[in-house]
Structure 1
Amino acid sequence: MKQYLSASKYIDFDHPDVAALAKELALGAAGEFDLVRRCFEYVRDDIRHSSDFKLNPVTCRASEVLRHKTGYCYAKSHLLAALLRANGIPTGLCYQRLSVGDAGAPYCLHGLNAVHLPDLGWYRLDPRGNKPGIDAQFSPPAERLAFAIKAAQERDLPEIWAEPLAIVVETLERHDSYDQVLANLPDVELAG
């Protein structure tokens, strides 16, 4: 579990602002589930999704997301991982492969998190941000993610990564504006 508890370049909970927020969110929490809920709801509700709100700059590191209060799903998942790891809760990164439109090509990755909960194990949660048609919640043991898998080439990728995928980081760091990222969303080829 050590890798899911560590600070890193992108999950930088050792940054003073991230560490302070993690401590603030933990104050008065009635146990681990309540703490996870508080961190999740903060990132889901208080950090605006870059594309939904047409916001710049493009963020990637957890500390950047917190400073600018905006990020794509990937960056928001980096902040949630940082807040939870800072509080000693093992947290990883997950991805879904989804259709960019209603069905069919093109496809893109969607970033979310998995948290290791007592008596439950790994549980996915999606801090993307709600809007009409999207209602992600923290309601264990049931998962309530932003998007359901519907098309044949869509997938819930089963891996839980300790660090963001290189293609995600490259996309976020290469582009200067939310609309450039939107036009170049990362994707992976499905095996077999």
Structure 2
Amino acid sequence: MNPIQHAPALSAYLAADEVIDHHHPLVREAAERLGSGTADAYTYASDAFTYVRDTIPHSMDVGDPRVTWRASDVLAERTGICYAKAHALTALLRAAGIHAGLCYQRLTAGDGTGLVVHGLVAVRLPAWDRWIRQDPRGNVGGIDARFSAGAERPAWVARPELDEMDYPEVYAAPHPTVLRALRSYRDGAELGRNLPSAL
């Protein structure tokens, strides 16, 4: 993956907003549940990742027509595409005081026609001196994304020869192109036909 770039103020990666609404009672409740009995930030972050990856289905994997984009809605509805699941994980991490941001890849579409933007989360734990990307989209069909403190373990590795890439930026808020797509389409099928192809 490409070197990661981020905004100079780390405090931006703890902020709450309309999308990463970690002040919402549903997010706080989930964070408290995940954190009960957890002694350290790494364990909490790993547990939060597993929770989002494994208990919130990727809506396109299961044919769920609902489109979620706000972190609290992802947790309440228990569905979302990669961007939405990344919003939920980012909110859960920030709720525990862990720096987290959003990052993206450009990958070949699942049907092999064209390119689509894929959403991930970048995490920076207190003991780490760098951002490490995590991919909570969900493991189906042979995907084996895992939480990692070392080598990144995303669902897919970008292949430059196919014009795929890892965008190097870590965003404190969702990229406007991604958020516009999530908020513009009435159901998952329409969203799936109109996923962003680039940032």
Taking structure 1 as the reference length, the TM-score comes to: 0.94
Give the aligned partner of residue 107 of structure 1.
115
The CA distance in 2 between the partners of 1:119 and 1:136, in whole Å, is 20
The CA distance in 2 between the partners of 1:25 and 1:157, in whole Å, is 30
Q: What value does the CA root-mean-square deviation take over the aligned residues?
A: 1.3
Query: Are residues 1:26 and 2:7 paired?
Result: no
SS for the counterpart of 1:115 is strand
Contact 1:58/1:177 (8 A) holds in 2: yes
Deviates more, 1:118-127 or 1:89-98: 118-127
After superposition, residues 52-131 of structure 1 pair within 5 angstroms as: 52-101=61-110, 105-117=113-125, 118-131=127-140
SS for the counterpart of 2:169 is coil
Counterpart of 2:193, as a letter, is A
Contact 1:99/1:108 (8 A) holds in 2: yes
CA drift at 1:102: 6.5
SS for the counterpart of 2:101 is strand
Counterpart of 2:63, as a letter, is K
Gaps of 5+ in 2: 1-9
CA drift at 1:120: 4.0
Equivalent residues, number: 188
SS for the counterpart of 2:170 is coil
Runs of 4+ in structure 1 off by over 4 angstroms are none
Contact 1:120/1:141 (8 A) holds in 2: no
Q: Which has the higher strand share?
A: 1
Residues 103-160 of structure 1: CA deviation (Å, up to 9, x unaligned): 5x51110000000021342111000000122110013212110011124310011000
The CA distance in 2 between the partners of 1:18 and 1:32, in whole Å, is 17
Deviates more, 1:82-91 or 1:17-26: 17-26
CA drift at 1:167: 1.0
The CA distance in 2 between the partners of 1:43 and 1:90, in whole Å, is 17
The CA distance in 2 between the partners of 1:38 and 1:12, in whole Å, is 19
Contact 1:65/1:79 (8 A) holds in 2: yes
Contact 2:108/2:162 (8 A) holds in 1: no
After superposition, residues 164-175 of structure 1 pair within 5 angstroms as: 164-175=174-185
Query: Are residues 1:183 and 2:193 paired?
Result: yes
Q: Identity, % of aligned pairs?
A: 46
Give the aligned partner of residue 140 of structure 1.
149
The CA distance in 1 between the partners of 2:12 and 2:137, in whole Å, is 23
After superposition, residues 149-160 of structure 1 pair within 5 angstroms as: 149-150=158-159, 151-160=161-170
Contact 2:102/2:172 (8 A) holds in 1: yes
The CA distance in 1 between the partners of 2:43 and 2:37, in whole Å, is 9
SS for the counterpart of 2:52 is helix
Give the aligned partner of residue 171 of structure 2.
161
After superposition, residues 28-47 of structure 1 pair within 5 angstroms as: 28-47=37-56
Gaps of 5+ in 1: none
The CA distance in 2 between the partners of 1:174 and 1:185, in whole Å, is 11
